Structure 1
Amino acid sequence: MPTADVLRKKSKQRRLIIQGTLVVLTVLAIWGAVSNAQYNLTRLNMTSGFSFLDRGTGWDYSFSLIERSINDTYAHTLLIGLLNTLFVGFICIITTTIFGFIIGTMRDARHPAVNLAATVYVQIFRNIPLILQAIFLYAILIHMGGPRQAMSLGDVAFLSGRGVMLPGLNISPTAAVVLLLVSFALVIGLIVAKVALWRGLAIWFVGTLVLTLAAGHVLRPAGEALFTIPSLQGLRFQGGISVPIELFALIVSITLYGTAYIAEIVRGGLSQVPRGLVEAGQALGLSRASIWSRIKVPMALRSIIPPLGNQWIFMMKATTIGIAIGFSDLFYITVNSISQSGQTLELILLLMLTFLAINYSIAIFTNWLNARLQLKEH
């Protein structure tokens, strides 16, 4: 009879053989795919590599946060697509998180009407495919008519088939993006400092407002107003912030869809808070708002953050549906670049590596945030 040491040695050898075989097969498969791709490219008289990134594109697209022209290189155009994807992704992460907490709290409420309304919302938007919601919303918006038929909200904001016009600071889109990044950095700083929820929100709001006003005062064009309000001049609006209809439809559809999922995550986290803690807060005379902000939410966050991070990653990946409605995100730019340049493998590789880096960064941030919120053992 073989001894235990002999059996362990044989088992280890088998594992090594299996692992070695898998490695060899993987290398052979990759080598075969690369060789086949090189052969096909040579047969079609197509060059491989990334030198095409320095060539001009010669085509235009709908939206950009920075200066653009049809003479931009592929590298610059792909950068614009990346910025557009990050812009939409982070806006949707913020909006879905805020509305998700609101709807999730309503789902946890005892009032039957409030609970029912939140449940109906979740069941509707969670069970309809996201791309279908985006296309349906876009089809409605583009048939709303021109600027003269625009819907008005207090004569300061307008919605038409061409887009949304909003009042805003008289600064460039690039400066506005920088302000958003600074505001996000302020949130991270408050989390690191472990500032209480309501105090942190107040500090963030006041800090962002002060920074925005200061930046607007410094960066506005000389002799022009700090804020601009859109107004109808002839056949189009002048002033304010113009949001293309594709961008608006994409943000709204992702927000509606993602909010339903985050609401369920929040509801599940709130329901896990021990009933005894809530009763203790009631015994101390705390209001419902204080119990929610000082007891339920801090306790629930420890179970909410991990699945919430998964949803944040999904929000970023969901931006790729913009191609269905003509929004120039990174996926849209990449597909157009493939059709124009023929560099399929290189562009798909860049697209995959970019999303891998973005989503891995979100995962790292989520893990860090989860570790900061965990109770420390003494």
Structure 2
Amino acid sequence: MDVAELKARAQRRKLIIQGLIIAVTALAVYGAIQSAKVNLSALGLTSGFGFLERSTGWSYSFSLIDRDISDSYARTLTIGFLNTLFVGALTIVLSTIIGFLIGTFRDSRNPALKTAATVYTQIFRNIPLILQGIFWYAIMIHLPGPRQAMSLSDGVFLSNRGLMVPVLNLPLVVALVLVLIMIAAVFLLRKARIGIFQSAIAWVGLLVLLLLVASGLYVPTGESVFSWPELKGLRFVGGLTISPELLVMIIAIVLYGSAYIAEVVRGGLAEVPKGLIEAGEALGLNQRAIWSRIKMPMALRTIIPPLGNQWIFIMKATTIGVAIGFSDLFYIVSTSITQSGQTLELIAILMGCFLLVNFSIAQFVNWLNDKLKLKAH
């Protein structure tokens, strides 16, 4: 019997074993589903996803789109999913930016910066996230009311009703298009390899031009391109109000997540061979050039894999919203279970949504990691 035939037999044996494992797993799942149906029938509970078309009859604190108490379970769950995606994406971006900054400070030669970054990391990394969320929420609800709101700067106020900030007086779609155009401009200007000063002038000029065009087309006559919060009676009108629950979610998750990301960045920078740093110093490069041209590009290959794990963790951390009443997907599912009794179906929806989001993040991280690999010539 030759080697090729032995390999073919081994391959067939592996396929047969894998097929048997899949068949046994499928039978076990099928048996569990049938058993659950029988038990639910005995308790007088219906199964299936038909309840998604029924009206919920209850409201919640936050939504990115229009909502009403007559919304169906399907729309309410969609709103919760969008809220989770919004908070997760926002906190991932902010945590990454702050984490890279703190991680760089921890690698700094300046003792003050290094000590401050170390204290920050040790404090926020070692306090449980849900405890941080409850702590910040307790502070928020004990702030002064709107009439005594703290003015943080021109047009920015903080009270127990949340954070009031100016906002573009434009339709949401138009504002998103402006943001996408500015992001594209940043990448194009980087490709052009012009100086930082010239790039800043170009960004500001493009932003002013876009705002002028948008205000001429979409802003009502007599109104400003920016809507500013103003105190009228017992509340603020105009501008954008960030609810206390949303603000607490952002603060708690960003502080906690950035502390872990800072450790990932510090570890990646520490892995850069000292010989490369000494070579940069021998060439006369300053510390900023060494960081941007040598240390960070080399460290990214070490940073990206654990950074992806932190991104997934931050997305899962949005579930702390249930502790402070923020209407993320977990909160919506928990309330829906209480109202509808469709426990298995709603848990399956919750698991499927998080599996989809976290698998997408993992695939993006794998793609990014592959792009950063050293290519063999």
TM-score (norm. length: structure 2): 0.87
Q: Write out aligned runs for 1:104-143 (5 A).
A: 104-143=103-142
> Tell me, which stretches of 5 or more residues in structure 2 are unaligned?
none
Contact 1:78 1:330 in 2 (8 A): yes
What is the aligned partner in structure 1 of residue 86 from structure 2? 87
Q: Deviations over 1:291-326 (max 9, x none)?
A: 222222112111111111111111111111111110
What is the aligned partner in structure 2 of residue 281 from structure 1? 280
Q: Deviations over 1:68-103 (max 9, x none)?
A: 111111111111111111110111011001000110
Corresponding residue SS for 1:42: helix
Q: Deviations over 1:26-69 (max 9, x none)?
A: 33432232112111222233322222222211111101111111
What is the aligned partner in structure 2 of residue 333 from structure 1? 332
Contact 2:56 2:72 in 1 (8 A): yes
What is the aligned partner in structure 2 of residue 60 from structure 1? 59
One-letter identity of the residue aligned with 1:376: K
One-letter identity of the residue aligned with 2:308: G
What is the aligned partner in structure 1 of residue 368 from structure 2? 369
Contact 2:185 2:203 in 1 (8 A): no
Corresponding residue SS for 2:223: coil
Closer, same or farther: CA 167–352 of 1 in aligned 2, 3 Å: same
Q: CA deviation at 1:9?
A: 11
The two structures, once aligned, show a CA RMSD in angstroms of: 3.3
Closer, same or farther: CA 164–18 of 1 in aligned 2, 3 Å: same
Closer, same or farther: CA 29–202 of 1 in aligned 2, 3 Å: farther
Question: Matched residues in 1 for 2:206 and 2:244: separation?
Answer: 27
Corresponding residue SS for 1:368: helix
What is the aligned partner in structure 1 of residue 351 from structure 2? 352
Q: CA deviation at 1:197?
A: 12
Corresponding residue SS for 1:303: helix
Q: CA deviation at 1:361?
A: 1.0
Q: Deviations over 1:245-281 (max 9, x none)?
A: 0000000000000000100111111112222322333
Corresponding residue SS for 1:237: strand
Q: CA deviation at 1:180?
A: 5.7
Closer, same or farther: CA 22–368 of 1 in aligned 2, 3 Å: closer
Question: Matched residues in 1 for 2:173 and 2:24: separation?
Answer: 48
Question: Matched residues in 1 for 2:261 and 2:302: separation?
Answer: 13
Question: Matched residues in 1 for 2:219 and 2:264: separation?
Answer: 42
Corresponding residue SS for 1:372: helix
Q: Deviations over 1:87-144 (max 9, x none)?
A: 1011101100100011000000012221111111111111111111111111111111
Q: Higher mean Cα deviation, 360-369 or 282-291?
A: 282-291
TM-score (norm. length: structure 1): 0.87
Question: Matched residues in 2 for 1:43 and 1:311: separation?
Answer: 44
Q: Write out aligned runs for 1:235-314 (5 A).
A: 235-314=234-313
Percent identity (aligned): 60
Closer, same or farther: CA 31–205 of 1 in aligned 2, 3 Å: farther
What is the aligned partner in structure 2 of residue 170 from structure 1? 169
Q: Higher mean Cα deviation, 128-137 or 144-153?
A: 144-153
Contact 1:197 1:293 in 2 (8 A): no
Corresponding residue SS for 2:136: helix
Q: CA deviation at 1:374?
A: 2.1
> Tell me, which stretches of 5 or more residues in structure 1 are unaligned?
none
